[in-house]
Structure 1
Amino acid sequence: MDLAVLVTFAGAAAIISIVPGPDMFYIMANGIASGARAGVVAAVGMSTGLAVHTTAAALGLSALLQAAPMMLELVRIFGVVFLAYLAFDALRSPGTDPGTTGHAVPARSLRRVYGMAVLTNLANPKVILFFLAFFPQFVTPGSEWPVPVQFMVLGAVFIAVGLTVDGLAGFASGRLSDMLVSRRGVRRWLDRVSAAVYAGLAVRLAVDDPAR
């Protein structure tokens, strides 16, 4: 695989990653709700989901899913239900206990953030179609590198670039939340903001046609 192709791909990946999308909004919602560490962990979870998509694309599983519209529809429905649950969960959050400041996030909560971020990414059928549409433009037929290997390399570059951008977004939103959460009444509003983000993503996924 030509180095120039990788550099071009990395530049395109950076532009795509910087433009705010559902994944970034989800990561920032976690940072707002649970602090900087949760925002970064959510970014790592999203990248883990992308690693699964990369592997699936390299093995041809993404093409199989695209050929079976019903499977994509089931993935979309699962994503809508899952995001709606996250919105409900954020709304019923008790917030920070009186007399405390900052985010007290236990280790298992961070594991939960990570797991939910992975599931959220995997439940978005648009990611599957994006990999099939975007990656082949940078695959070199007849290269000494087999096509599956090229997919894996491109996926690794895409994940590295995306994790850097999303991790910074999650950290920044979490730090801003940490500064605001000590103010009386702000904790509850932050939970409502994150709930609104989750609900908005659920609605977007519900009305969006994955085939477009």
Structure 2
Amino acid sequence: MEVQLIISFLTASLLLSIIPGPDNIFVLTESITKGKKNGIAISLGLAMGVLVHTAAAATGLSIIIQKSAMAFSIIKYIGAAYLFYLAFMSLKEKKIELTLVDDQVQNKNNVAYLIKKGFLMNVLNPKVALFFIAFLPQFISKNGFNITLQMFLLGIIFALQAFLVFFIISILASRLTKYVNDNKFWKITKWSKVGVLSSLGMALLLSKK
């Protein structure tokens, strides 16, 4: 597996984790309203959920890639279309107003419960499963080691960087609020997301595996 592919994957993953979306906005809100420990616990659950989607994508897609070039081509085009769809939907996203009450109540929920909550949020989201099916294959090398192991490695890398990003968001939650509520910030991040998803879709469309 080429180092360049891993670096490209890590760069794309970091951009996708940093750009505001349902998961990191939820972590941010929970961290501010209920404490950073809550945010960190939920972040861990979300990251663990990534591994489930990785396992599903790795076991299914690896068989398809190895056994049927035509089937993989169909999945490739569907995956590219889905990434373009996500880019289009990002254009229609509206700014999220993060409003917080002054008398914030620190909710000391059980850590295990919060991890489970984040885990189920991720695992039960079919959009995440579709995204991984579209995202992972373009960073797989046929000349490398076992394709299933490559996908598991990429999934672990994605989970680790996502947890790191969400962990930082939890720690810096109070300082990030002003940026999330800034119109200029939302315009920049919206077009960044459109650019990243469109680039991934085009890369997958043009890939020759």
Give the TM bin, normalised by the shorter chain. Answer: 0.5 to 0.7
Q: In the aligned structure 2, how far is the partner of 1:142 from the partner of 1:3?
A: 13
- For residues 118 and 50 of structure 1, do their structure 2 counterparts lie closer, same or farther at Cα, with a shift above 3 Å needed? same
- For residues 146 and 41 of structure 1, do their structure 2 counterparts lie closer, same or farther at Cα, with a shift above 3 Å needed? same
Post-superposition offset of 1:30? 1.8
SS at 1:141 equivalent: coil
- For residues 150 and 62 of structure 1, do their structure 2 counterparts lie closer, same or farther at Cα, with a shift above 3 Å needed? closer
SS at 1:120 equivalent: helix
Q: Please show how residues 34-73 of structure 1 align to structure 2 within 5 Å.
A: 34-60=34-60
SS at 1:60 equivalent: helix
Superposed CA deviations along residues 154-181 of structure 1, whole A, max 9, x for unmatched, are 11111121111111112222x56xxxxx
Post-superposition offset of 1:33? 2.9
The gaps in structure 1 that reach 5 residues or longer are 68-95, 177-212
In structure 1, what residue type is equivalent to 2:115? Y
Q: Is the 8 A contact 1:56 1:62 kept in 2?
A: no
Aligned-pair RMSD on alpha carbons? 2.8
Q: Please show how residues 1-212 of structure 1 align to structure 2 within 5 Å.
A: 1-60=1-60, 103=106, 105=108, 108=110, 110-143=111-144, 145-173=145-173
In structure 1, what residue type is equivalent to 2:172? A
The runs of 4+ residues in structure 1 deviating greater than 4 Å are: 61-64
Post-superposition offset of 1:42? 0.9
Alignment partner, residue 89 of structure 2:
none
Post-superposition offset of 1:32? 2.5
Q: Is the 8 A contact 1:46 1:117 kept in 2?
A: yes
Q: In the aligned structure 1, how far is the partner of 2:63 from the partner of 2:142?
A: 18
In structure 2, what residue type is equivalent to 1:155? G
- For residues 63 and 149 of structure 1, do their structure 2 counterparts lie closer, same or farther at Cα, with a shift above 3 Å needed? closer
Superposed CA deviations along residues 85-144 of structure 1, whole A, max 9, x for unmatched, are xxxxxxxxxxx8xxxx862615x2x2221111111111211110110111100101242x
The share of aligned pairs that are identical, in percent, is 30
Superposed CA deviations along residues 173-202 of structure 1, whole A, max 9, x for unmatched, are 2x56xxxxxxxxxxxxxxxxxxxxxxxxxx
The gaps in structure 2 that reach 5 residues or longer are 65-74, 76-102, 176-209
Question: Structure 2-normalised TM-score?
Answer: 0.60
In structure 1, what residue type is equivalent to 2:113? R
| Number of equivalent positions | 140
Q: Is the 8 A contact 2:31 2:170 kept in 1?
A: yes
